[in-house]
Amino acid sequence: MPTRTNRPAAGTGATRNFNAMSETKYEAVIGLETHVQIKTRSKMFTSVAHRFAEPPNTLTDAVVWALPGVLPVLNFEAIRKTIELGLMLGCKIPEVTKWDRKNYFYPDSPKNYQLSQYDMPLCLGGSVEIELPAANRSEMGEHRNVKLTRIHLEEDVGKLTHFAHDSLVDYNRAGTPLMEIVSEPDMHSSAEVFAYLTSLKNTISAAGISDCDMEKGQMRCDVNVSVREFGSEKLGVKVEMKNLNSISNVRNCIDYEIRRQIDCLKKGIALVQQTRRYDAQSGTTQPMRTKEDAHDYRYFPDPDLMPCKISGELLSSIRAKLPELPFDRQRRYMNDLGLPYSAASVLCADSALCGYFEAAAAAYPKNPKAIANMVVNDLLRELSASEVSEKSCADSFEREGHVPTSEKLAGCRLTPENLASLVKVVDAGTISKQMAKEVFVEMFASGESAESIVEKRGLKQNSNSDELEKFCIEAIKGNGKAVEQFKGGNEKAINALIGPVMKASKGKANPGLVLEILKKIIGGLQ
């Protein structure tokens, strides 16, 4: 695997896209606490199910409510999936872990405490590989690792809905298994945070640990921002923005907060450690409360849950089934299959799309590059325009709430094997690449194979050299200027001759053979 680069030294500006910082003596330091709901059938400490959009307060029981006499029971699948992510990200998995009570009073917490992990989390250290965009979108950007502090496992709280004069709470979400992924203060711009969240989401989704649908609350962020002078090792005053639930809000919130803090320092206004909320309508952050420290939560070990020992056998069994990381898959596609970065990066951002591509490539392994091109261009275009995904878009992470690719493909009539057959008939010279685009649309709509559509519509390419030679001679006679330009060294001029030949053959002429015949005839004229 290629070596991943570390971030540039402070002040180089190589990874900072925030103009205000480049014009001042300050840099931002950003850390994230990312909360991700784990995809399990039941909640973290009880067998009651958790699902989205159920009638309010119907997915609860005595354990969720923490009624007297009930005891929590650990969800092994949530523990296993958290360890799986930890191993994928290079975390150390301690031999013993335990759960603690984090005490606070808030209406969305029915217990008045949260079962979480304090000093003995499931995963320690690790990192997330990110890619910052290059100036040219067809080229690979800069890669580096963002360091992690820990990943711990806890339970989610309920959901509050606020109105003008009151608030309602739905406890269906309370008790859902929740990973908290804590980064080091190792990012310096909203662009890096965007890349971090994108990479984390792709990794988690690829492993089937969570769908990371931000609109459904399956992925939420707390962002810690401070500013300091370039070159300084001392962190500035930390300000936390809570529960940001869209990637655009995260980006806009960070950019505003960096500007606000720099402006305060310039004016000599002291910054205070506090929690702020982001108002998307005004694009500003507003103070909520002074920032809590760990001792404010009065953590103590949960008396109803014993510490857990993580066996070597369990780690070995999980490690043996770890999925391929998205960036490792991207490098494999480029190095082993010869895919361009533009195609590999689109594929590897979506595990469902990768599965479709690999099934097609397995059906026709001779031309994976052409298959990838059809998947990322033709297939995604038709999926976005079709009834299957009329509410969807290609970038479901940037615009939350749309149909994921896995659901689009589930309703797609075009099988990977049929897509592969289309590439195969093009490679065989049966139809042209231009004609293949028309055939693709019909295949997508009907689910028929390429061969049957070509046969039914009589689209087979004309490779009769005698007939094509007649068309070429006529094209040369009618386009003397293009002929002279080609003879003078302008090789692109011959394209003006191919069009008339294709028109005369009703689009069925073999372009490669036409080009060969044209060059032969013009060469004879010379």
Of 483 and 302, the one with more pLDDT: 302
**Residue 182 confidence (pLDDT):** 98
Between the alpha carbon of residue 486 and those of residues 219, 469, 519, the distances in Å are: 59, 18, 9
Please state whether 474 falls in left (phi above 0), alpha (psi between -120 and 50) or beta: alpha
Cβ-in-10-Å burial (0-12, 13-18, 19+) of 53 comes to: exposed
Query: What type of residue is 165?
Result: H
Q: Rounded to an integer, what distance in angstroms lies between the CA atom of residue 52 and that of residue 50?
A: 7
Encoding tokens for residue 232? Answer: 């300084």
| Distance separating alpha carbons of residues 208 and 205, to the nearest angstrom | 5
Which residue reads 């609109």 in tokens? 215
Is residue 119 over pLDDT 60? yes
Instruction: Please tell me the predicted confidence (pLDDT) of residue 24.
Output: 63
Residues in the chain: 526
Q: How far is CA 295 from the centre of its chain?
A: 36
Q: What is the pLDDT of residue 245?
A: 80
Rg (CA), the chain: 29
pLDDT beyond 80 at 165 = yes
Q: Which residues pair with 113 in a beta bridge?
A: 103
- What share of the chain in percent tops pLDDT 70? 90
Judged against a pLDDT cut of 70, whether residue 253 lies above it is answered with: yes
pLDDT-derived band at 138 (thresholds 50, 70, 90) equals: confident
pLDDT digits (tens, 9 = 90+) for 187-236: 999 999 999 999 999 999 999 999 999 989 999 999 999 999 998 889 99
Q: What is the 3-state secondary structure (H, E, C) of 5-70?
A: ECCCCCCCCCCCCCHHHHCCCEEEEEEEEEEEECCCCECCCCCCECCCCCCCCCCCCHHHHCCCCC
**pTM for the full predicted model:** 0.84
In sequence order, the 6+-apart residues with CB closer than 8 A to the CB of 496 are: 479, 482
- Ranges 293-297, 409-413, 421-425: which has the least confidence: 293-297
Pair 380, 394: CB distance under 8 Å: yes
User: Other CB atoms closer than 10 Å to residue 202's CB: what's the count?
Assistant: 21
Can you tell me the mean pLDDT for 45-57? 95
Render pLDDT for 350-370 as a digit per residue (tens, 0 to 9).
999 999 999 999 999 999 999
Mean of pLDDT over the chain:
88
Beta strands in 406-474 (DSSP E): none
The type of residue at 266 is K
What does residue 229 show for φ and ψ, rounded to 5 degrees?
-70, 145
pLDDT of residue 398: 39
Region 285-301: what's the mean pLDDT? Answer: 82
pLDDT, tens digit (0-9, with 9 covering 90-100), for 76-115:
999 999 999 999 999 999 999 999 999 988 899 999 999 9
Rounded to an integer, the average pLDDT of 290-312 is 87
- CA separation for the pair 466, 49 (Å, rounded): 71
Per-residue HEC secondary structure of 132-158 comes to ECCCCCCCCCEEEEEEEEEEEEEECCC
- pLDDT digit string, tens, across residues 222-234: 999 999 999 888 9
pLDDT at 397: 37
- What is the tens place of the pLDDT at every residue in 473-486? 888 988 888 888 88
The 8 Å CB, 24+ separation contacts for 514-518 are 514/468, 514/471, 514/472, 517/465, 517/468, 517/469, 517/472, 518/472, 518/475, 518/476, 518/494
pLDDT tops 80 at residue 18: no
Report residue 103: phi and psi, to 5°: -95, 120
pLDDT of 295 reads: 65
Q: What are phi and psi of 422, to 5 degrees?
A: -65, -45
Domains identified in the chain and CATH numbers: 21-293 (no CATH), 326-457 (no CATH), 465-525 (1.10.10.410)
